[in-house]
């Protein structure tokens, strides 16, 4: 994985968005600092509001975004769609869904991957690792 300047990524910055601190803590706890030895270490940026999501993205230091689709007042699905429409290049997006049946909404939002809530540490870790391996970072 390489940064835009061509240097290998030493740390991947993961944005975790949810209005619930317990959800953010569950995501961070499930993934840990190194979910796969073939990937760089993870560093987490936790945010609770949509404006902070975009402030972090505008700063240009986010490698992947994990968004809570159940967050309020701004849900992760709407944020994902807005990211795809407004951020170039847009980092990969993993969307957390309340129900697996809501995958079609994740498709509408153009998320790259999904996982369900409550957080399943094994499923979330596997999904994120697969997403990162397929991403051009």
In a domain, 3, yes or no: no
Instruction: Give the range of the structural domain holding residue 41, as residue numbers without chain letter.
Output: 11-134
Q: Residue 3 has what pLDDT?
A: 46
Tens digits of residue pLDDT in 39-76: 999 999 999 999 999 999 999 889 999 999 999 999 99
Any idea what the CATH number is for the domain that residue 69 is in? 3.40.50.2300
If one counts the domains in the chain, the total is 1
pTM, two decimals, is 0.92
In DSSP notation, the chain reads: -B-TTSPBPSEEEEEEE-S-HHHHHHHHHHH-S-S-TTSPEEEEEEE-SHHHHHHHHHHT--SEEEEETT-SSS-HHHHHHHHHHH-SSPPPEEEEESSGGGHHHHHHHT-SEEEETTT-HHHHHHHHHHHHHHS--
Going by pLDDT thresholds of 50, 70 and 90, the confidence category of residue 7 is low
């Amino acid at each position: 994985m390489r940064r835009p300047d061509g240097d290998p990524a030493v740390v991947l910055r993961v944005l975790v968005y949810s209005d619930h601190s317990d959800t953010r803590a569950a995501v961070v706890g499930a993934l840990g600092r190194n979910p796969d030895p073939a990937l760089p270490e993870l560093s987490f940026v936790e945010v609770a509001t949509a404006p902070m999501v975009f402030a972090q993205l505008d700063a240009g230091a986010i490698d992947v975004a994990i968004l809570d689709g159940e967050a309020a007042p701004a849900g992760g699905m709407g944020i994902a769609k807005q990211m795809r429409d407004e951020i170039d290049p847009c980092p990969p997006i993993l969307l957390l869904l309340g129900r697996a049946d809501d995958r079609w909404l994740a498709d509408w939002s153009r998320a790259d991957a999904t996982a369900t809530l409550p957080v399943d540490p094994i499923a979330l870790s596997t999904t994120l690792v697969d997403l990162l391996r397929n991403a051009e970072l």
